[in-house]
Amino acid sequence: MKLTRHNGRSGKHGTYNPRHNDRRFDVENSEHIDAQRAKKNVYWDCYRGFTTPEFRENPEQPDFSFEEIERMYYYEHYSDHVDAQNARNEKTRHTERNRTVEDLLKNNKTCPEESIYQIGTMEESVPPGTLALIVSEFYEEFERRFG
C-alpha cells in the first residue's frame, strides 16, 4: 500500500488557508470532499496531539481551529524575536522593516507548513490508528536523524 506525504506553505494564490484542512465548514457543500470519509480524518497539532472529528464534537474537550493553534504557536515562539528585531530596526532608523507576528503568519516564507499523510487509495486504506502510529514513528525517526 502506498503512503503519500504532502508538505507545503503556499501556492500560486498565496499562503495555504488552514481552514481548508481543518474541515470546519459544511463538507456536504463541497463536491470534491467525501463527507463520510472526512469523518475518518485524524488531525494533529502541537498542543493537543492527535484528534478526530468525534473529539472535536465533545463539548468537554478544548477545541481550537488550526488557525487559532497556528496563531497561538507563533505568538508563543516568535513574538519576543519580532519585538527585539523591531527594537533594533528602530535603533538604526529603519522602522519600515518592522514586522508583526501576523506578518509572519501571512508571508510565504515564514507561514506555517502543512503536512498531509495518506495511506492507500479511496478503495483501500488502513485504520486511522495505523496511520497515526506510522506517522508518529516517522517523526521520531526524523527527529533522531535530523534534530
pLDDT digits (tens, 9 = 90+) for 25-57: 777 778 888 878 888 888 899 998 988 888 888
Smallest CA-to-CA distance from 85 within 70, 97, 103 is with 97
Within 14-127, where are the H helices? 18-22, 35-38, 53-57, 66-91, 101-106
Task: Give the three-state DSSP class for 53.
Answer: helix
Q: For the residues 119-144, what does the mean pLDDT come to?
A: 91
Contacts 24+ apart (CB under 8 A), 21-28: 21/66, 21/114, 21/116, 22/65, 22/66, 22/67, 23/53, 24/65
% of the chain residues with pLDDT over 70:
100
Q: Per-residue confidence at 19, pLDDT binned at 50, 70, 90?
A: confident
State the pTM of this model. 0.83
Q: Per-residue confidence at 123, pLDDT binned at 50, 70, 90?
A: confident
- Name the more confident of 33 and 65: 65
Locate the domains of the chain by residue range. 3-72+113-146
Instruction: Say whether pLDDT at 88 is over 80.
Output: yes
How far is residue 125 CA from its own chain's centroid? 23
